[in-house]
Amino acid sequence: MQVSIPTPLRNLTGNQELVTATGITIGTLLADLEKQFPGIGERLLDDKGQVRRFVNIYVNGEDIRFLQDKETSIKDSDEVSIVPAIAGG
């Protein structure tokens, strides 16, 4: 599936804004991203293996924190976007 990569991480993906990756859950998808683009894993996951506090991951526009976090199931037709958490207010 298509995964959109935020600007600060594009130096790890050869400047690609959109990459293709596989996985049946967000967790396995992130592992695949790390395999393809070494170094991206530690930017997205902290040392406990959890998605970093200020990283938002959306599946078809829905925040995985509303779904099942890393266990959220995904299929090939889904759009996954990685977006830095936004400050506001």
Partner 1 sequence: MNQEFFSNLKCRECGRLYPKKAIHVCEFDFGPLEAAYDYDKIKRHISRKSIESGPHSMWRYRELLPVDGNPTVGVQVGYTPLVKADRLARAIGVKDVYVKNDTVNYPTLSFKDRVVSVALSRARELNFQIVACASTGNLANSVAANAASAGLKSYVLIPADLEQNKVLNSLVYGTNVIGIKGPYDQVNRLCSEIAGKYGWGFVNVNLRPYYAEGSKTMGFEILEQLGWKIPKHTIVCMASGSLLTKIAKAYTESIQVGLVDETPFHIHGAQATGCSPISTAFKNGTDLIKPVAKPQTIAKSLSIGTPADGYYAVNTMRQTGGSCEDVTDEEIIDGIKLLAETEGIFAETAGGVTVATARKLVSLGKIPTHEGLVLCITGHGLKTSEAVANHLGHPRIIQPSLREFDELISSEAAAAA
CA distance 71 to 74: 9
Output 46 or 76, the one with its CB closest to partner 1: 46
Q: What minimum distance in Å lies between the beta carbon of 77 and partner 1?
A: 24
**At closest approach, how far in Å is the CB of 76 from partner 1?**
26
* Minimum CB–partner distance for residue 74 and partner 1 (Å): 20
Task: At 43, list the tokens.
Answer: 């930017």
Contacting residues toward partner 1, per CB under 8 A = 7-8, 43, 46, 52-55, 63, 65-66, 84-89
